[in-house]
């Protein structure tokens, strides 16, 4: 999808999260960003690797922690945002309450999986994740390699 200026808008992914966690469910939510933050996101100056989300039941709110959005150099020194500040996520109250309950009951973790743009607005794909042990990670890698091998063999047969 192209923006008003014709440039393709970026998609920032957290590929490490799918390795470290078993993703049970996902939720798309908006992110409340300042002007220099949105420009930095469009310039792909974002790291989701360390990020996590806290869900609070009363009052219902979601907060994105430890996601680094780099400074936007053209803005100048006095107009910059804090790269690691806590950012508010935008979702419906019922969804937030459901997430908070699930995290508390099952011990799940809320992990940012992807930042992308929908009609010019930044969206965050949030994953409800269960941590994998080292053995589970090895098993997942083995399954992925076996699937890749089967796909390669099937391609050669055509």
For 36-84, the DSSP string reads: HHHHHHHTT-EE-TT-EEEEETTTTEEEEES-EE---GGG-GGGPPPTT
Q: What is the pLDDT of residues 75-108, one digit of tens each?
A: 878 888 888 999 999 999 999 988 888 888 888 8
CATH superfamily, domain at 12-132: Small protein B (2.40.280.10)
Q: What is the pLDDT of residues 110-129, one digit of tens each?
A: 999 999 999 999 999 999 99
Q: What is the pLDDT of residue 21?
A: 87
Distance CA(156)–CA(133), nearest Å, equals: 35
Nearest to 90 by CA among 37, 53, 47, 58: 53
Distance CA(45)–CA(40), nearest Å, equals: 5
Q: What is the pLDDT of residue 1?
A: 46
Contacts of 133 (CB under 8 A, 6+ apart): none
Q: What is the pLDDT of residue 122?
A: 94
| Band of residue 4 on the pLDDT scale cut at 50, 70, 90 | low
Backbone angles phi, psi at 139, to 5 degrees: -65, -45
Q: What is the mean pLDDT of the chain?
A: 87
| Band of residue 56 on the pLDDT scale cut at 50, 70, 90 | confident
Distance CA(53)–CA(121), nearest Å, equals: 20
Q: Where are the domains of the chain?
A: 12-132
Nearest to 53 by CA among 81, 15, 97, 89: 89
Rounded mean pLDDT, 27-39: 93
Q: What is the pLDDT of residue 130?
A: 87
């Amino acid at each position: 999808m192209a923006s008003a200026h014709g440039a393709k808008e970026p998609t920032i992914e957290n590929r490490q999260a799918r390795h470290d966690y078993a993703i049970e469910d996902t939720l798309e939510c908006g992110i409340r960003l300042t002007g220099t933050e949105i420009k930095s996101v469009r310039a792909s100056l974002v790291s989701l690797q360390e990020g996590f989300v806290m869900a609070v039941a009363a009052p219902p709110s979601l907060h994105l922690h430890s996601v680094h959005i780099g400074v936007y150099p053209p803005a100048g020194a006095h107009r910059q945002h804090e790269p690691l500040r806590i950012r508010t996520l935008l979702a419906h109250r019922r969804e937030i309450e459901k997430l908070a309950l699930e995290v508390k009951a099952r011990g799940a973790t809320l992990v940012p999986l992807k930042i992308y743009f929908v009609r010019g607005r930044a969206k965050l794909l949030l994953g409800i994740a269960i941590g994998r042990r080292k053995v589970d990670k090895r098993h997942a890698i083995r399954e992925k390699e076996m699937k890749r091998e089967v796909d390669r063999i099937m391609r050669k047969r055509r």
